[in-house]
């Protein structure tokens, strides 16, 4: 027997029992004739104790040879601890060791296996199994497991069926770049790994499985960021015989269930905001509504006073940073530099201090009298002691820039507490958006999204104004879910492909299977997918999804532990009809 209990299990009520524990040596302390070993496993830490004279001399000697991360099995009696540790679940007891068995030795780990490790990211990724032994990662994976289980419980209770869809599918030109897999049996042909099971779940609806879900891996060959991985997991769902309202209610229910069961938090009903309103009030389709600092349209108020930059701008937009009138010249300069960075791209920033004495001070006072500022401040809702931050330019670009500045200021003012959760539905997304570079319309969500029924005609006249029954679930400024009501009519789907620049032949070649399915009784349907990794990170109060995935890739898309991707040998290449030699050999 390797263990009678885990290292997180023993309490005062076990005192007097003889137990066997197995685990890893977290640390040991040798003080004269007394020796303590902290033994760790997934469940916790238990203190082992030996004493010269009392313990068997051989066992004592053996215990002294144990290094960090050695794997051992210890048998002994549970005794009351002399100095109790109320920080530890097992802190009331220790084990007086009678027998020790070394199960495996360990090299000295390249970083400390502590909650705060001294290991850098690269090192921790390379020795991921050591990193996984640390509490923060373990807790994240436990959290992930819980969220997965609770999602399944909720969906199962509503008769959703978990159905797997294939990983080797067909490459499609829409969306992100595909990862492709050469087919040995079909020379010169490739599968693609799914960016999502979108078309399959729709086909399942045609197949009669009216409530589907899957916690499923998806693959997108995109540039990576903190919240992106080349393979990531979605809670992917689809329902038939539903309208948008049914989907919003069902999945609001899912998120509420998760908050309740995993975090013990009651989420009140989730507010809704149209895309247009979100853009107008926050300059973002995923506004962080934990704080206000809403956009103020100052275009009319600020134009016509002789300040050419504002006069020529399509939009002059401001936000009010409460209590920031004391900002120094240096702080304002720093903010100005920040908005001028290429990532933000603003040309400049106008700041106006609303001084406590009722006066106003800005860098453009030459053009704006105190009276005008008074009016602007009143319109913007700025009080004495506040700072008004103003950007100008083309509407879309200015909104984007000001949205970034709003998030920055919200963070600086401590308004973005990770323990506070403010979900939001953003609804009525545009159906398509114009891509200047490609010179054509692109689907804003995906090509299977249905226009609002009364917007069909706009496809012919002004597609950019057409709105879709498409929705995003946003939590604290992060998009964690998105979906839509789908097209289920072949003619409308063909019209959509046409709008997106597919010839009828191309549409048939790429999506013939779906178009054909629509001719055999496709029910009205719609769905949504939640980013499971992001959801886990948010529940865990973190930005980076990496530490919520057991084996993530680094920023260059590499798994540095197994060293992938890697070259393959010529024989494999030949079998796959890949002619060229690997570049780096
Ligand atoms: N397949 C979509 C996505 O991955 C979600 C959906 O429309 O259900 O974003």
Q: What is the DSSP string of 199-236?
A: HHHHHHHHTT--EEEEEEEEE------TT--SEEEEEE
Residue whose CA lies nearest to ligand 1 atom number 8: 528
pLDDT of residue 245: 97
Contact 404, 410 (CB under 8 A): no
How far, in Å, CA of 22 to CA of 4, rounded? Answer: 9
Residue spans of alpha helices (H) in 314-426: 329-340, 370-380, 395-412
pLDDT in tens, the chain (585 residues): 999 999 999 999 999 999 999 999 999 999 989 999 999 999 999 999 999 999 999 999 999 999 999 999 999 999 999 899 999 999 999 999 999 999 999 999 999 999 999 999 899 999 999 999 999 999 999 999 999 999 999 999 999 999 999 999 998 776 789 999 999 999 999 999 999 999 999 999 999 999 999 999 999 998 877 678 999 999 999 999 999 999 999 999 999 999 999 999 999 999 999 999 999 999 999 999 999 999 999 999 999 999 999 999 999 999 999 999 999 999 999 999 999 999 999 999 999 999 999 999 999 999 999 999 999 999 999 999 999 999 999 999 999 999 999 999 999 999 999 889 999 999 999 999 999 999 999 999 999 999 999 999 999 999 999 999 999 999 999 999 999 999 999 999 999 999 999 999 999 999 999 999 999 999 999 999 999 999 999 999 998 899 999 999 998 999 999 999 999 999 999 999 887 655 554
How far, in Å, CA of 416 to CA of 26, rounded? Answer: 36
Tell how far the Cα of 570 is from the centroid of ligand 1, in angstroms: 38
Task: Give the predicted TM-score (pTM) of the model.
Answer: 0.93
Tell how far the Cα of 490 is from the centroid of ligand 1, in angstroms: 20
Tell how far the Cα of 410 is from the centroid of ligand 1, in angstroms: 30
- Tell me if the bond preceding 565 is cis, omega within 30° of 0: yes
DSSP tally for the chain: helices H, then strands E? 17, 22
How far, in Å, CA of 22 to CA of 5, rounded? Answer: 9
Work out whether the CA dihedral 258, 263, 265, 271 comes out positive or negative. negative
Nearby residues of 165 by Cβ (< 8 Å), 6 or more positions away: 194, 197, 200, 201, 204, 214, 216
- Pocket lining: 198 vs ligand 1, CB cutoff 6 Å: yes
Architecture per CATH, domain 139-273+424-548, reads as 2-Layer Sandwich (3.30)
Tell how far the Cα of 91 is from the centroid of ligand 1, in angstroms: 48
Tell how far the Cα of 188 is from the centroid of ligand 1, in angstroms: 30
Question: What does the block give as tokens for 426?
Answer: 């953003």
Q: Which residues pair with 564 in a beta bridge?
A: 559
How far, in Å, CA of 308 to CA of 311, rounded? Answer: 5
Tell me which CATH code domain 291-416 carries.
Answer: 3.30.1360.30
- 380 burial (CB, 10 Å; 0-12 / 13-18 / 19+) is buried
- For a mutational test of ligand 1's pocket, the pick from 446, 472, 485, 525, i.e. the residue with the most ligand atoms closer than 8 A to its C-beta, is 446
Tell me which CATH code domain 12-104 carries.
Answer: 2.40.50.140
Tell how far the Cα of 379 is from the centroid of ligand 1, in angstroms: 40
- 215-257: pLDDT as tens digits: 999 999 988 776 789 999 999 999 999 999 999 999 999 999 9
- Pocket lining: 484 vs ligand 1, CB cutoff 6 Å: yes
**Domain residues of the chain, as ranges?**
12-104, 139-273+424-548, 291-416
Please identify, by atom number, the ligand 1 atom nearest to the C-alpha of residue 527: 8
Please identify, by atom number, the ligand 1 atom nearest to the C-alpha of residue 236: 8
Residue whose CA lies nearest to ligand 1 atom number 1: 198
Concatenate the DSSP letters of all residues of 477-503 into one string.
Answer: TEEEEEEEEBP--HHHHHHHHHHTT--
Intrachain domains 139-273+424-548 and 291-416 with the same fold: no
pLDDT of residue 224: 78
Alpha-carbon distances, residue 12 vs 9, 18, 34, 49, 199 (angstroms): 10, 13, 22, 16, 57
Question: What does the block give as tokens for 372?
Answer: 């005008």
pLDDT of residue 335: 97
């Amino acid at each position: 027997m390797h263990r009678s209990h885990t290292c997180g299990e023993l309490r005062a009520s076990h005192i007097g029992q003889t137990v066997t524990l197995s685990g890893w040596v977290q640390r040991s302390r040798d003080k004269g004739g007394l020796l303590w070993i902290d033994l760790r496993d997934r469940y916790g830490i238990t203190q082992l104790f030996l004493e010269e004279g009392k313990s068997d001399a051989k066992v004592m000697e053996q215990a002294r040879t144990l290094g960090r991360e050695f794997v051992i099995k210890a048998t002994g009696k549970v005794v009351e601890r002399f100095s109790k540790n109320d920080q530890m679940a097992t802190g009331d007891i220790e084990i007086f060791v009678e027998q020790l068995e070394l199960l495996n030795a360990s090299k000295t780990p390249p970083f400390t296996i502590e909650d705060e490790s001294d290991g850098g990211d690269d090192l921790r990724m390379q020795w991921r199994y050591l990193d996984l032994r640390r509490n923060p990662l373990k807790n994240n994976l436990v959290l992930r497991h819980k969220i997965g289980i609770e999602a399944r419980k909720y969906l199962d209770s509503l008769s959703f069926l978990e159905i797997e869809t294939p990983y080797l599918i067909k490459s499609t030109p829409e969306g992100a770049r595909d990862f492709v897999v050469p087919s040995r049996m079909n020379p010169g042909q490739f599968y693609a790994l799914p960016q999502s099971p979108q078309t399959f779940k729709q086909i399942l609806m045609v197949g009669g499985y009216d409530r589907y879900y899957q916690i499923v891996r998806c693959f997108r060959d995109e540039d990576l960021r903190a919240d992106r991985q080349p393979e990531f997991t979605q809670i992917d769902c689809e329902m038939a015989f539903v309208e948008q309202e049914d989907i919003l209610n069902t999945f609001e229910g899912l998120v509420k269930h998760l908050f309740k069961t995993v975090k013990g938090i009651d989420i009140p009903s989730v507010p809704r905001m149209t895309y247009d309103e979100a853009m107008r009030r926050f300059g973002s389709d995923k506004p962080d509504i934990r704080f206000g600092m809403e956009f103020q349209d100052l275009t009319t108020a600020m134009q016509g006073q002789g300040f050419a930059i504002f006069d020529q701008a399509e939009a002059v937009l401001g936000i009010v940073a409460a209590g920031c009138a004391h900002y120094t010249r240096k702080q304002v300069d720093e903010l100005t530099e920040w908005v001028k960075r290429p990532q933000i791209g603003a040309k400049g920033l106008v700041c106006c201090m609303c001084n406590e004495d009722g006066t106003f001070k800005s860098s453009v006072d030459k053009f704006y009298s105190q009276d005008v500022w008074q009016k602007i401040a009143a319109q913007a809702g700025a009080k004495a002691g506040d700072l008004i931050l103003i950007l100008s330019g083309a509407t879309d670009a200015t909104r984007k820039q000001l949205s970034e500045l709003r998030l920055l200021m919200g963070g600086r003012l401590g308004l973005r507490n990770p323990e506070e959760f403010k979900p939001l539905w953003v609804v009525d997304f545009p159906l398509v958006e114009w891509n200047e570079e490609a010179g054509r319309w692109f689907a804003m969500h995906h090509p299977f999204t249905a226009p609002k029924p009364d917007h069909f005609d706009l496809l012919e006249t002004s597609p950019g104004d057409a709105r879709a029954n498409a929705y995003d679930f946003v939590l604290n400024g992060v998009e964690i879910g998105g979906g839509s009501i789908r097209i289920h009519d072949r003619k409308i789907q063909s019209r959509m492909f046409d709008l997106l620049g597919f010839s009828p032949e191309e549409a048939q070649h790429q999506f013939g299977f779906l178009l054909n399915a629509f001719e055999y009784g496709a029910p009205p349907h719609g769905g949504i997918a939640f980013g499971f990794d992001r959801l886990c990170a948010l529940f865990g109060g973190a930005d980076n999804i990496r530490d919520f995935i057991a084996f993530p890739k680094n920023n260059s898309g590499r798994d540095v532990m197994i060293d992938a991707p890697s070259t393959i040998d010529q024989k494999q290449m030949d079998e796959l009809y890949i002619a060229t030699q690997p570049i780096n050999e």
